Structure 1
Amino acid sequence: MRLPRRARLILLGAASPLLAAALALAGHASLQGPSIDTLYWLREALHGPKPAPSPSPVVVVGIDEETYRRPPFAGTPQALWGPKLGVVLAGMLDGGAAAIGLDLVHPTSVETLIPGFEREYLLTLRRGGKEGRLVLAKVQHQSNPLMPYRGYAIAAGMGNIRSVNLVEDPDGVLRRVPVTLSVAGPDGSPRPEPGMAAEVASRALGKPLERAADGTVSLDGHRLPEGAGNRLLVNHATAAGAIPTYSLADLHACAQAGNTAFFEKHFKGKAVMVGTVLDVEDRKLSSNRWVTKPEGLNLPERCALPVMGDLYVAGQRRDSIPGVYIHAAAISNLMTHDGLAETSRAVGAALVLLLAGLAAAITLATRPLLAAAGLALLLGLWSGVAVEAFQAGLVLPYLQAALAAVLVFPLLLGFRFAVLDRDQRQIRNAFKLYLPGSLIDDMIASGQSPRLGGEERNLTILFSDIAGFTKMSEGMEPEDLVLVLNRYFTVMTDIVEAHGGFVDKYIGDAVLAVFGAPYAIDNHARAAVNAALAMQQAMADDKTLLATESGRGSCRIGLATGPALIGNIGSPRRFNYTVMGDTVNLASRLEGANKYYSTAVMVSGETMAHHGDPDAFRALDIVQVVGRNEPVAVFEPLSEARRADPEDSARRAAYAAALSDWRAGRFDAANAGFTALAPADSAAAAMLRKAEKRTGTPAEPGWTGITALTEK
């Protein structure tokens, strides 16, 4: 039976973490290498370059550019270097080197052409092999290995030859060194043989490699963290000059000078790798390719010759390193138990699935933008965990898990849009025309429909009305009038919502807005005042608002702050989220009081006090509105332009002085003050009309200066 589309989508959403994990794990092999390289880079970014053990258990003798330039090597074919190399080998053996590995394969010798030429070199090889401190190199091919010259092999001993093969990953990067390789035994059957790094480390420690029945290998009681095929994942020290490197040319001059103390100081008890460290020859891409350092830094002490100039380009970094350093790093790992271990496939898969599951939970738990931020935080935390594990020697499936988490995000966003958010969008679309957006969000989050009930809260109410509405609408067709009003309401509603309020209702041509509910805001009085000023500015900026052929209306606004009842009010079958109470009535009365003072915006004293900035207002009067026994001080909010205008500031100061005279019963002085201001100040003109009626008469006992308004 074919499942309905919705059921199929739900199954897809539930399976998204598994699908993402499966896709990431399918690319495990191709991602593991870059994942390790990325962890090197992240580790260095968080912890700085990884230093080598101090003192380093391994050193490198480099056949470097300096060796090719200095006599007696300069101008001499490399085939004739055997005796000179023997001098250095003898010096290291005399100095107490624990084990020496030659990362050089010389399949031919001039000994066949010049008998006796390499006698001392062969004797040195024989000595090193007999003492078990010298290992020659071979390269293991598919069938027959590339072996050193037979005379060298016989001199050192056939049991002292080991493979220098390295393991190249599919992307061409060398990250692993074979601990053992399969070679043909005397009877032709395959048998395991230690690789060069394992053999040198074993001899330097004086401990044999031990193979358990399950195939695992241990050295010095430490189980090696090998990967598939007994391969050690190398943990490179990335500090500049981490592995001390000595020039063959300097050591040859040192040995010729008989400075045995230098060899004893720098090579006693050490594992030594001898190999080429040239600019172009035998260089390999390794797992530390993104954190390599300029060459020639932190070089060890010299013996006989100073460092040759012009060998290194200052600050130049190469993404490849000489292969001998990979062997040396592996030897250091084996001797200090500092290799890298990779998680098993089962543990790795569990970690990938865990991260995919967490990403799924974050994606489904919140809005897309917050989910994206949460996903970024999750990836940051995962990076930190992976780096700290890497610092401790454990390689987690870093990129695989990160990829799974990233894949989950778009999969589940599509699932949310198609299934989960569909119901929420339907609810929001059904209610958004009647309820505040924040209330709809609460309803969706709780999964419950709105219910009857209210609460008393301290709010600021904005009541606006259109002055001159009757005149501007004269002769207009109803459809045209509706278009004009709707455009006006749209602009005003956008301003209210932009300042954190919501429009409760439209009452004819009036707008009732609430600030401070359903969610509290930092200062609802200030938000309401700013909204009122923005509404007036919108009317000034757009002369087409409320403009008709019969005239243009204007906007009057009243603001009041105080307790009000807000909530779902009505019957169980029909109700509104609305506000009611004395504060609402006062806002409406103050809107109407603007007519008396010819002002555009009037606020109560509570609004001014809650706003917190007295300089943003000027006192107008104390009034007693219709239907309210208690008088209320009223104020006019000031725009930034008026506050910055010196002339307006002077007029406001004069108005305040005249108002003070009025309230004190000094009617003659008040008359004079308001008379001077009346031509430029409509509020002063309104006050002048009152003062003129009392000029020449004393104030009666108990005079308060309250103006009783007789109109709504």
Structure 2
Amino acid sequence: MAIVQAAGRVWRQHFWNLLAVQRWISLALLALILGEVAGWWPSRLVERLEWMSYDWRVQTTLSGDVDPAIVLVDLDERSLAAIGQWPWPRMTVAELIERLFLDYQISLLGIDIVFAEPEADPLALIWPQLHHAYPDLPVEPPRASGDDLLAQVMAQFPVVTGFYFQSRVTEQDPPASGQLPAPVLLAPTERDWASLPWPRPERYTSNLTSLQAAALGGGFFDNPLVDGDGVFRRVPLFQLWEGQLYPNLPLAMLYQLLGQPPVELKIEEAGGLLQLEGIDLGGFVLPTDGRSGALVPWYGERGHFTYVSAKDILLGLADPALLEGALVILGASAPGLMDLRSTPVGSVYPGPEINATLLAGMLHQSFKAEPPFTLAAALLLLFALGILMTYFFPRWQALAVLAISLLLLTIHFALNFWAWSAGWVLPLASGVVLLLLLAGWHMSMNFLRESRAKNWVTQSFGRYIPPELVAELVAHPEALTLDGEEREMTVLFSDVRGFTAFSETLAPSELTEVMNRLLTPITAAIHQQQGTIDKYMGDAVMAFWGAPLHQPEHAAAALRGAFAMLEALERVNHTFVAEGKPALAMGIGLNTGAMNVGNMGSSFRMAYTVMGDNVNLGSRLEGLTKFYAVPVLVSQTTRDAAPEFAYRYVDCVQVKGRAEPVHIYQPLGLSAELSADQQAQLDAYHRAVEAYQQADFSVAQAAFESLMLQQPELNILHIYRERCQLYSATPPGEDWAGVWVHHEK
């Protein structure tokens, strides 16, 4: 008794030591996560996970709303092919704008393109020489330049131009060029708004002075707030240049649409610091972060808004109903014009459609925003949650930790999506990472402690009491039942062709090494598809799917395993050939049906295996692969159980030892991966087989011979042609059912 008590004291001390280590490491993990969220560590892993979780929430909650009042006039590939490569003559652009307003009656045009350089005018360049040669000619060319013509057209209509700022300037970059539009008018405020952390560019590229002066206004279309992974999630509403605020293009359009009302900045003080929380433009309240960044209010994937090709506008082919009264953004989606961006809703997304999305969000007030207190609240919540998990989780069993963690995850997701639906974007990934990390750590440690407890009990008490009693004291897992039963399963037989002759050239020691090199990747291919190896028979392999665990899609898994085996053999052959050895081929047969599975054998030796008529049929099919010169053959039942694969009908056969005929097929791969040409050839082949089965041998022979011109390597075509020749010369009886009898295994 004293020994047991002493051992108990030792174990309790060991337990508390483990518990202390577990909690200290848990606190270290908590500090690591808090540091990641706060930005103290350089890895920024949690930040990237937050970006991914934000993208996932965007994708799963797209509203699909369509605003017919916003239309994109697109410089697409059709337009470039019809009108010519960009840049187009300014006269063409002027005609496009004029047609939009006069013929299609749009209400406002935003141009997501910058005209930074004057258009080259060949006539103006040679006019001085012409005037010198012919003094009677006027001093100036008789027609206005393309830039002047475009400026005249823009002055007649409400047009908002686009330009771009550049945040990082190198010595190779040219100085600022063009004329900036007028900045926005700010409502009077006593706040020191200029000290806020606005994006502050170092140069700009804007439109020619004559064009900008003719326009109603302008806005930038660059984005200095692109996240570190290159994805457009937020854009600045303003950038600060020489003490003035300039809006982005969609905001500039709204600004002009509302008659240029004063912009009221929503600035609040927190912790003695001023922070921008949004803007009010004529009653339209737009939430922002401290740098005037607004999250893009995505509605749908690319092509969600109405697109009209610029070519159709110029040729008068566009539907006027789409454009009348619309707010139009002119931009480019053609890949060559480089205005494609990576976004949460598409890795290749046109920049003009981002501006259209922002404009729709402004008009519909559908922006989501991160509350100003987001970071502080996230850190406080993570700290409280981490402390509670550190205190309670070590006291609970692993299953309890798992259940509570799943409950907390569910609550975390539910609250986050509730806030999302209310317009708040709260951190999601940091809480998930903390829960998974701490739950995984504590579950692992709890399992380890329980395992060590069992081992300690066994080692400590096994010397004093019988092992049978120790086992009774320790918890017992349920033994796996391997009793025989009948199940619906799929069996696979494979055999390497020509391996006997191949092996005769090898020394016995080398043969063993080659066998291992051959069977290891083949076995791995079967295991990767959850198959069970039944036995090895020299270079042959027998495997099955559907036991000991139930597999509803065992036939499909077996087919994937067969293809994986062929790929593995191809890799082995590549090595063999490089070593001067001959390449090997493999035949694989599969059958699906009821089979007996379980521990079978004698009192001296048992094996977990399958037996039955359907098992034998799988073996026969493997043997037939050599006759038909195909790598894989499957039965009708396997084909029916895995309909997602494409199959070539091979034959209706009666194999040795089986009275009933069976239809056999060659699997070709997934149906979805077949090309149109492959499907057409397969359809033609099956029509030829149908003619053969209907005893129309002359038609079938002609069809098979036609197919042989396209696929001369396909052995089954030669087989059917020979049969057609045979049956044409010696017609079968009226009871002929198209069955070919094989007398060999």
Shorter-chain TM range is 0.3 to 0.5
Q: TM-score, normalising length from structure 2?
A: 0.41
Q: Which has the larger radius of gyration?
A: 1
Q: TM-score, normalising length from structure 1?
A: 0.43
